[in-house]
Structure 1
């Protein structure tokens, strides 16, 4: 049988077709636009996601026996606010994960409501990208639209709703709303009261690997699949990517260098970072994870290549960075192009190159950017280490991880072994694996991961280079505290 994995990203939706042995039969992608109506805002029309699905799935299945398609699972961009009225119409464009308009609401939640109260109710504090602050922003700035809300959902859940007619979500995505009680696995009554929404407006909760329903007949006809095709609840993109890399169970780690950057550490026991520098979320395998999130990771490189250097060949820009230059670059880069989440939670922070001189070359900037993203990710790793968590190896995935140079830098900055996978398809592969569990092909997510995920190479840190990067990292750590008071004055 065949299984479809959907990766609902920020700029494109990727579709993957896989059989139960893990053999990937086909991959297609459909792009869609982002909207930035005001500085710091980031929105998207959910209709664009539906169009991508209606175009992408038939293209994915072209030439295949559609009768063999048994299940669909999606991994999607987290935190985005999708709101429908009583007539099932989308009320306004979705406010996305990287939208920064909610600074006042975040300050009010963290300051007035308080970190301790938020953490007790949800295991997390407020961040600008989370869903609850977006609802508070709507309540204040768009009260007439807020009053029309009948259904609240997240981006991939809107796709599931269109496919099945079921208003659903699951723990890994719900955990990023600041409306979900991670420890007890339910919507937080206290947070619903604080935000001013009702329980009946919230989606029904399913396990990530559970079937939520089957495809509606009219959608099945449109997509060219059987109406009895099972749709799994799916997962938030980071949890889905972790499933796809086999990062499940106890003490596993995955580093993702995508548009954003994440470090994802799994646990079979619920636990919270007492300083809330890391997110304490539910995992798609039924357990938990701690996660550090950088808002700009591989997107930093895209910005430098496209907007600054005007470079079309990204790989060519890395060729001049010889191995002897690693750990010796005098230039530093702070990767805060869109503010930052973990571990500093500062919407005012901005990117900066520091340490340039008349000797600075183009390749120094590229290298500094690669190193700065790795240093920024290490900030979150250090929080985990302070909690007593020992990470000696990690999977690595995402577009940035395709660069051998970036992998080498990460291995030595982090001083951990990095496992490269035979097939790294991120949230799409994880979504297809969750669909397999929903269809009964594997009894658990862990069983699916053990059967389907294979490591083909390991990048090991080199003691001398890791020592040089340790020295550079300690200098990097001085930069943000020195500039923190300056950033708000730049706006």
Structure 2
């Protein structure tokens, strides 16, 4: 049988058709717009997502036997607030994960409600991108819209609803709402009260690999699917990507260099760091994970290449850079959209530091790639302080296609970096969750062991890792030095 993974990203949806043995049979993508109504705001229309998914499903299945599709699941951009009225109509555009309008509400949660209370209720503190501060913002700034709410959903869950008619979510994605008791896997009554949220507004909770329903008969007929095609709950994009790279079970790590950047550490046990610098979330394998999230990662490099120096030839800009790794005197703070882990500062901004008359364009390009890597290490240091010991990490995302960036990550983190056969992290992970939901595999770990293959390994070089240790010690002093200016 075949399985479909739907990766609902920020700029596009990517749909993947996977055979039961893990073979990727087809991949298509469809873009949709993102809107910035004001500085720091970021929105999308859920209707655009659904139109793109419908068109993408038709293209994905062209030339294939749709009757062989046994299940569908999702990886999705996290934290976005989708609100439906009593007729299940979208009330307003979705407020996205990288939206920075909720500084006031986030501060109220952290400072007035208190970080200790939040951590006790949800295992996390408030970040500007989380869903709960967005709800508070709507309640305060758009009371007419808040009064119409009948259902609250996350982005991928809107697509699941359109497919099945069921209001559902999974624990990994719900972990980022600041409404879920992560440790006990239930909605937090205290947080619902604080945010003015009725429990009836919230979707039913499922493990990522559990079926939530089947494709609606009329839609199944339109797509050529069997009427009993299973839809599984799916996962937040980072958890789905972790499944797609085999980062499941105890003590495995994945670094993602996408629009945002993450370091993701899977665990069989629940744990929280004392500063709540890392997110403590449920994982798509039914267990737990810690995650550090940067708001801008490979997107920093894209901004620099596309918008500033005006080139698409990324490889040419990196040519010759390897000879000067660990010796760059120019640094870059990668906070173009503010920062989440570990600083939790929506007002932070990007900055070049250390330039001189002999600084070159290549130095600045290198500084951007290194700055993102140093930002990932900031979160890794928090994990190390918890006693977590790692000797390797998987890597995925658009930035991971760069051999130079993989080498930087290996030496800046001083970890063996493993690249897997498929570059389709969240989409492949979503298809694997669908396969587990349909009984193709007994567990997510079994699916990962069978499907995910390491094809390349980058070992850290002791001399280069030592150079980068000195560079990192300089980098980690920069944000505290300029924080007051932000």
What aligned pairs does 1:192-207 form with structure 2 within 5 A after superposition? 192-207=192-207
- Kindly indicate whether residue 422 of structure 2 is the aligned counterpart of residue 417 of structure 1: no
Structure 2 residue aligned with 1:397: 396
Structure 1 residue aligned with 2:174: 174
What aligned pairs does 1:234-313 form with structure 2 within 5 A after superposition? 234-313=234-313
TM-score calculated relative to the size of structure 1: 0.98
State the shift of 1:44 in Å: 0.1
Structure 2 residue aligned with 1:478: 477
- Kindly indicate whether residue 111 of structure 2 is the aligned counterpart of residue 104 of structure 1: no
TM-score calculated relative to the size of structure 2: 0.99
Structure 1 residue aligned with 2:61: 61
State the shift of 1:423 in Å: 1.3
Structure 2 residue aligned with 1:34: 34
| Alignment check: 8 A CA contact 1:266 1:289 kept | yes
- Equivalents in 2 of 1:219, 1:474: separation in Å? 56
Structure 2 residue aligned with 1:468: 467
Structure 1 residue aligned with 2:434: 435
State the shift of 1:221 in Å: 2.8
| Alignment check: 8 A CA contact 2:66 2:223 kept | no
Structure 2 residue aligned with 1:444: 443
Structure 2 residue aligned with 1:11: 11
State the shift of 1:320 in Å: 3.0
Deviation per CA, 1:137-176: give whole Å up to 9, x if none: 0000000110100000100000000000000001000000
Structure 1 residue aligned with 2:77: 77
DSSP-derived class of the 2:177 partner: coil
- Kindly indicate whether residue 113 of structure 2 is the aligned counterpart of residue 113 of structure 1: yes
- Equivalents in 1 of 2:50, 2:422: separation in Å? 27
- Equivalents in 2 of 1:31, 1:239: separation in Å? 22
- Equivalents in 2 of 1:329, 1:186: separation in Å? 48
State the shift of 1:485 in Å: 0.3
- Equivalents in 2 of 1:452, 1:12: separation in Å? 25
State the shift of 1:478 in Å: 1.2
| Alignment check: 8 A CA contact 2:9 2:77 kept | yes
Structure 1 residue aligned with 2:211: 211
- Equivalents in 2 of 1:450, 1:424: separation in Å? 17
- Kindly indicate whether residue 396 of structure 2 is the aligned counterpart of residue 388 of structure 1: no
Structure 1 residue aligned with 2:140: 140
- Equivalents in 1 of 2:421, 2:148: separation in Å? 48
Runs of 4+ residues deviating >6 angstroms:
none
- Equivalents in 2 of 1:187, 1:64: separation in Å? 41
- Equivalents in 2 of 1:317, 1:81: separation in Å? 38
State the shift of 1:314 in Å: 1.3
Structure 2 residue aligned with 1:152: 152
State the shift of 1:226 in Å: 2.0
Deviation per CA, 1:154-210: give whole Å up to 9, x if none: 000000000000000010000000000001110000000000011110000011100
Q: CA RMSD in A?
A: 0.6
Deviation per CA, 1:338-370: give whole Å up to 9, x if none: 000000000111100111111011110110000
State the shift of 1:224 in Å: 3.0
| Alignment check: 8 A CA contact 2:20 2:440 kept | yes
DSSP-derived class of the 2:265 partner: strand
Unaligned runs of 5+ in 1: none
DSSP-derived class of the 2:115 partner: helix
- Kindly indicate whether residue 377 of structure 2 is the aligned counterpart of residue 378 of structure 1: yes
- Equivalents in 2 of 1:361, 1:223: separation in Å? 54
Structure 1 residue aligned with 2:367: 368
Matched residues, number: 486
| Alignment check: 8 A CA contact 2:67 2:224 kept | no
Deviation per CA, 1:68-97: give whole Å up to 9, x if none: 111001000000000000011000000000
Unaligned runs of 5+ in 2: none
Deviation per CA, 1:393-418: give whole Å up to 9, x if none: 01000000000000000100000000
Deviation per CA, 1:283-313: give whole Å up to 9, x if none: 0000000000000000000100011100121
Structure 2 residue aligned with 1:228: 228
